[in-house]
Amino acid sequence: MSDGHPGTGAGPSFGSRLDAAFGASGHLCVGIDPHPYLLEQWGLTADAAGVRSFGLAVVEAVAAAPRAGIVKPQVAFFEAYGSAGFAALEDVLAAARASGLLVIGDAKRGDIGSTNDGYGAAWLTAGSPLEVDALTVTAFTGVGALAPLFDLAERNGKGLFVLSATSNPESRELQTARTPSGESVSRLVAEGVAARNTDRTRLGDFGLVLGATKRLDEYGFTAEAVRGLSTTPVLAPGFGFQGAEFSAIPHVFGPLAPDVIVSVSRSILGHGPQGLAAAIENDARLVGEVIA
């Protein structure tokens, strides 16, 4: 398997496409998070029609921005409206793909066996109504249990981002727990994911979700989780509304800082539809100053 193409020849790998997006549009990822309060602020109804209009407006603004090329729809806000909400999400995903944006589905799926086959068919298969370029997943059942998702993603030129170290305070006890070998659970997950990228010379298809808030840095396990890793992209939520500052990226993520997807949601979306373009451009500029 080459660095640029998955094993089946399905086209460029996710890692190579992400690397190209970094070069062309920078590292900013705009979250599509239609919180009920944001729908109200935008003058939209709290229903499937509202989240559809919200999502399409964000896609349009990001597609028009010269220094932003990645979006991350938060599936939960669409799922809240049932089948109509999923239909709205399908429209938003289709619009983002048609606009040439890289789409990360923030669905946090993950299970075992045939259940993972089902998740993969839904999110990582070309032509599926829910097709995305990469999917967030959990590894509580073990990184090895995600093998069906890893394999399908690799065949289809897709990616996965596995939760490794999150910044919510409830995560500390579990994620800092030590294995018999002395590693934290977060580090164990990170190593398992990184092992899937060992044949890549630049960016692999499989990355880590590492929260970016100050709480995480205070816990001190982000540096441990990424120590010595390479070719492993990072999806980093927590900037803006949750308190993380762009200037902290090199300190928090160390050697993986050049490969961080800087995810910003509410602090951009809170500017409303009229201020969206300017907010995207401003944050993209600030991120670009930190990640040269």
Kindly give, in sequence order, each residue whose CB lies less than 8 Å from that of residue 257, ignoring residues fewer than 6 positions away. Answer: 249, 250, 291
Taken in order 95, 100, 106, 112, the sign of the CA dihedral is positive
Q: What is the structure's pLDDT at 170?
A: 85
Distance of alpha carbon 44 from alpha carbon 39, whole angstroms: 5
Q: What is the structure's pLDDT at 138?
A: 96
Q: What is the tens place of the pLDDT at every residue in 219-229? A: 455 667 777 78
Q: What is the largest CA-CA distance in the chain?
A: 54
178 against 87, higher pLDDT:
87
> How much of the chain is helix, strand and coil, in % rounded to 5?
55, 15, 30
Decide: helix, strand or coil at residue 48: helix
Are 190 and 208 in contact by the 8 Å Cβ rule? The answer is yes
User: What's the mean pLDDT in 46-67?
Assistant: 97
Quote the percentage of the chain above a pLDDT of 90: 71
Kindly give, in sequence order, each residue whose CB lies less than 8 Å from that of residue 1, ignoring residues fewer than 6 positions away. Answer: 7, 154, 199
Phi, then psi, of 26 in degrees rounded to 5: 90, -170
Are 85 and 44 in contact by the 8 Å Cβ rule? The answer is no
Of 129-143, 156-170, 180-194, 226-240, least confident by mean pLDDT is 226-240
Cβ atoms < 10 Å from Cβ of 234:
28
Does 214 participate in catalysis according to the annotation?
A: no
**Closest to 33 in 3D by CA, of 129, 95, 105:** 105
Kindly give, in sequence order, each residue whose CB lies less than 8 Å from that of residue 142, ignoring residues fewer than 6 positions away. Answer: none
Residue 280 has pLDDT above 50, yes or no: yes
Cβ atoms < 10 Å from Cβ of 146:
27
| CA end-to-end distance (rounded Å), the chain | 30
At 216, the pLDDT band (50, 70, 90 cuts) reads very low
| Chain Cα centroid distance, residue 57 | 20
Q: What is the tens place of the pLDDT at every residue in 239-271? A: 766 667 888 888 888 888 899 999 999 999 999
Burial (0-12, 13-18, 19+ Cβ within 10 Å), 24: exposed
Are 146 and 160 in contact by the 8 Å Cβ rule? The answer is yes
Please give the domain boundaries of the chain with CATH numbers for all domains.
14-286 (3.20.20.70)
